[in-house]
Amino acid sequence: MANEGEQSKVAEREEESRKVNVLVAVDESECSTYALHWALDNLRHCFSVSPLTIFTAQPAADYNYLYGVANPELIDSVREWQQKAVSEMFAKAKEICARRGVTAKTITANGDPKEAICEAVEKFNIDLLVLGNHGRGIIKRALLGSVSDYCVHHAKCPILVVRKPA
Cα gap 54→22, rounded to integer Å: 9
The domains found in the chain, sorted by start residue, are: 19-158 (3.40.50.620)
* Average pLDDT of span 109-133: 95
pTM (predicted TM-score): 0.80
Cα gap 135→37, rounded to integer Å: 17
Cα gap 110→112, rounded to integer Å: 7
Break the chain down into helix, strand, coil percent, rounded to 5: 50, 20, 30
32 close to 117: Cβ distance less than 8 angstroms: no
21 close to 128: Cβ distance less than 8 angstroms: yes
Cα gap 109→56, rounded to integer Å: 7
Taking only the tens place, the pLDDT of each residue in 57-78 is: 988 766 665 556 667 777 777 7
